[in-house]
Structure 1
Amino acid sequence: MWKHYDGYGSGIISGIAWGADTVLVGIILSLGKFTANDQVIFLAPFISTFLHDFFSTIWMLIYMALNKQIAPLIKSLNTPSVKYVVIASILGGPVGMTAYLLSVKYLGVSYTAIISALYPAVGAVLAAVFLKERLKGKGYIGLAISILGIAILGIGDKANIVSKVGFLFASLCVIGWGSESVICSYGMKDEEVSPKQALQIRQFVSAVTYGFLIIPVVKGFTLTLDVIQSPIIAIILINALMGTISYVCYYTAIHKLGSVKAMGLNITYVVWAMIFDRFIIGTPIDMKMIICAIMVMVGSFIVATSPKYIPNDYKVYKKELVNNIN
């Protein structure tokens, strides 16, 4: 039973840390080094994401070394499960995280946090389709509430070409993160890869993909080196640490509670991001944002906590129910 309480705590902490991470991202992208000209503005999300995941890889490596987990990590690389973690890494990092930062850039911290919180509902649907974990009736009601909240958020003074681009990136982020959770949960189900090993692999794969593919394609090496040698690097290091804490807790929650419940707890970052954004940056919070945030979180939570499936064999269902209680 204790592992479930530990899982719930990890899920909530992951939300708090990601709320702080989101606000730090907004601060980094607004600094002069990333706003000098149009070319730099274009490169900023790619470079900041690369440095975020690169330094997160370093933070995780230090953690693994201090806990004598390097040898088990290397051993886990030879297991069949690792390929699913790698796929999840690409969807969550290069795809999801890049889209998330681009959305922060075009929509701002609070709007991006609210929209991206739809990913647990999408993840639950993907789990139903690909893992045959059928949603029950209230799950679809929750999904409808979340989508309605997003629709309301998109109506009004933000409905222009810039916000449409931001909404597009936020939608891509939702798909990437929802897919990551489901695939990663599948990869850890056989206990061949632990949550922390999965995270180390995830951040390494993401950093390598950026360093050897994305950054060269967008021609961002010069600016990357310039940023590393500037005072901004201190904020990026803190940003990467917050991201690492969030990821460790999130992957732990996925392992102990399953992907759907872990996502349902992680989305509390919407509230934390809005709070941090208000008190650190000073961004005002209007009533529409509060209502939409509540709708998205409630809807996603309903999806996350709804029964995923009921086996036809009652004995199997009873056994699974007992196991969940214990």
Structure 2
Amino acid sequence: MIPYIYDIAAAVILIVFIGRGFKRGVLRTVLSLICLIIAISAAAACSSYPVTSKIYDDYLSETVSEHIDNAVKEVRDETTKKLKDEAERSADRFIDDNLGGSEELKQFVRDYLSTDDEELRNQLSTAYSYLGIDISTLLTNPDFRAKIEEIASQYSGSVADELNSRLPLGIKVSKSSVENILTDEKVPEAIVYDMFGIKSENSQTKGTADYIENTLVRPAAIRMISAVVWAAVFTIVNIVLKIIVNIILIVRKIEPVKACDSILGGVLGAAVGAAVLAAAVILIVLIIRFTGGMTYLNEDIFSDTLFFGRLYDLAKSLDFLN
């Protein structure tokens, strides 16, 4: 009985496709295929990178940048406070070890470090310009880079949480992706600019928030917009085209047209069924070639079939399968 199951399955496939084609008619089948192609093409065009990036830049970029700025500021303030505390402890140790433990100097350092963040940044920036310090030397210093990477690793989770709590449209970022961004070799200058207001002469950095927005959030947002636009355009175009097709198919109410359309639909269904059957047979050829055959899927069984075995032998003889 097993061999004839393959013949029965092949016959069922052809009958189902012929019946479906007869019922739908060639006109509906062809028009549905054309509608599908048009809908996919329209969706692809409307969700292309130039279109979705313009949508993001025109309607979302400003809002997203503001949210990122706020998220980074929260973490930056926390980080700056800890760095100030560390700087104060280091200064106290230095004064104790080298300057006789002067309380006046310690208080001076505390007063300076307690200066308003923006004012402190301006003072540091002015001092940097006045002294002509080469920041590139600082940025390439292994100890400094190690400290920046330590800070980035320590606070990447906080940055990710802040971003995810603020970003619109359900845009999400992972801790690992934030950490990868913050430890990128281009980021230390952005972090230094955020915290101290100084950057090298030819630097284009606008800070950590801008870097995160351009390298992490913007690409993710554009991908999401692309998916949403594709789905929306495909659905709308498909609905409109189906309405048009239903109007056109009114002609099937004319009996001679309906009869001819159904017969041609059955012929087309037979062709589609044959193509599906051929694909299935080719797949079986490949499975047997790579596995050597199985209990109920082997050449001995096919040799006992009336029809399926002939299809198998024909597929096996194809040039591209040899």
Give the TM bin, normalised by the shorter chain: under 0.3
Greater Rg over alpha carbons, structure: 2
TM, length-normalised to structure 1: 0.26
